[in-house]
């Protein structure tokens, strides 16, 4: 009896040291939800007119562990448009189709430290570095990545990309037509970026196809749970931990997470990494994902944004949860 007790206790201690308990995770989510629920900072973006109309009270948190357990707090049903978070999955798809080198050679994997739709960043890299030293998570790099997707016609390219995003989310995703139309009518700057990348021969053909598909990929509707499953897929070596389906090649995950770490939050990437240690990606729809490799993917949806275009509640809630759960891969106990 005594030996059995000692054995059980040893098992409990071992599990406690290595794994987070369900209760720890749920209480971290609940605490962050409560702490920022009434926070009244930031505002919905309005440069895409349809996004100004989205309910700014939507606030949901979801976390998907690498073993496929799902935790939530708040509103995880309301959908927003995925916006720039989609760039991660376009990048992943191009790497799966053409190899990791294709992205590095054509676009680059370096931070620009500039805003997400910076044209100066392209000029700077071109004139001063003489080559593609940007990355696929800012608009010029993302539109170029979209232009690299495999497919014989627009429909085929689109089906492949939406299929990849859906497999990561674990359900068939759809496009918010109102957001797509609204951004299509106002995306002249992204069209200019498409042509600029074509002029510099980063985009090889049909720059307006690439810009149009890019705009559509940004209009895909997601809730916090979808985004957490997408992040969880990246945390779990490219295999969706809930459905068990392999979506992204395992060998490409470290490169994807590296680019998220250096450029996922544009000019605020360094500050975020400094405080959390986690690769992350934001979108102007109000979503944000972060990845604790081998542990979990987490997402928050809350539309009001700060000046850099990042959701205010999302960044605070994820930082609190990540730090509370000691998720930074850089935080290790000395032996």
Q: Quick one: which H or E segment has residue 121?
A: helix 120-124
Cβ–Cβ < 8 Å for 72, 61: yes
Cβ–Cβ < 8 Å for 183, 50: yes
DSSP annotation of 126 reads I
Between 118 and 236, whose beta carbon lies closer to ligand GLN? Answer: 118
The CB-of-4 to ligand GLN minimum distance in angstroms stands at 55
DSSP annotation of 118 reads -
Based on the number of CB atoms within 10 Å of its own CB, is 179 exposed (0-12), middle (13-18) or buried (19 or more)? buried
> Which residues contact ligand GLN (rule: CB under 6 A)?
83-84, 116-117, 139, 183, 190, 218, 283-284, 309
Between 9 and 47, whose beta carbon lies closer to ligand GLN? Answer: 47
DSSP annotation of 78 reads -
The CB-of-78 to ligand GLN minimum distance in angstroms stands at 18
Residue with the CB atom nearest ligand GLN in the bound state:
84
The CB-of-142 to ligand GLN minimum distance in angstroms stands at 8
Cβ–Cβ < 8 Å for 55, 78: yes
Between 137 and 242, whose beta carbon lies closer to ligand GLN? Answer: 137
Between 137 and 248, whose beta carbon lies closer to ligand GLN? Answer: 137
Between 87 and 239, whose beta carbon lies closer to ligand GLN? Answer: 87
The CB-of-320 to ligand GLN minimum distance in angstroms stands at 23
The CB-of-261 to ligand GLN minimum distance in angstroms stands at 17
| Phi–psi pair at 60, nearest 5 degrees | -140, 145
């Amino acid at each position: 009896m005594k030996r059995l007790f000692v054995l059980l206790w040893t098992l409990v201690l071992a599990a406690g040291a290595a794994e987070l308990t369900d209760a720890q995770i749920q209480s971290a989510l609940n605490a962050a939800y409560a702490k920022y629920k009434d926070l009244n900072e930031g505002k919905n973006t309005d440069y895409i007119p349809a996004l100004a109309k989205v309910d700014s009270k939507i606030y949901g948190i979801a976390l998907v562990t690498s073993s496929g357990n799902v935790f939530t707090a708040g509103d995880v049903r309301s959908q927003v448009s995925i916006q720039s978070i989609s760039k991660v999955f376009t990048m992943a798809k191009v790497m799966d189709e053409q190899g990791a080198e294709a992205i590095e050679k054509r676009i680059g994997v370096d931070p620009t430290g500039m805003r997400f739709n910076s044209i100066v960043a392209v000029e700077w890299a071109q004139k001063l570095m003489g080559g593609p030293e940007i990355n696929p998570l800012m608009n010029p790099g993302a539109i170029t990545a979209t232009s690299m997707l495999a497919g014989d016609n627009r429909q085929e390219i689109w089906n492949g990309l939406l299929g990849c995003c859906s497999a990561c989310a674990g359900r068939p995703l759809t496009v918010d037509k109102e957001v797509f139309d609204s951004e299509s009518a106002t995306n002249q700057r992204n069209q200019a970026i498409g042509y600029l990348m074509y002029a510099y021969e980063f985009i090889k053909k049909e720059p307006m196809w690439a810009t149009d598909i890019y705009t559509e990929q940004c209009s895909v509707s997601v809730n916090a749970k979808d985004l957490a499953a997408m992040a969880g897929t990246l945390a779990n070596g490219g295999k969706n931990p809930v459905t068990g389906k392999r979506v992204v090649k395992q060998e490409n995950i470290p490169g994807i997470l590296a680019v998220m770490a250096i450029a996922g939050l544009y000019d605020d990437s360094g500050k975020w990494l400094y405080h959390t240690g986690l690769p992350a990606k934001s979108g102007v729809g109000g979503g944000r994902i972060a990845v604790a490799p081998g542990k979990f993917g987490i997402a928050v949806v809350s539309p009001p944004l700060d000046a850099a275009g990042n959701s205010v509640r999302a960044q605070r809630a994820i930082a609190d949860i990540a730090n509370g759960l000691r998720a930074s891969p850089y935080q290790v106990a000395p032996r």
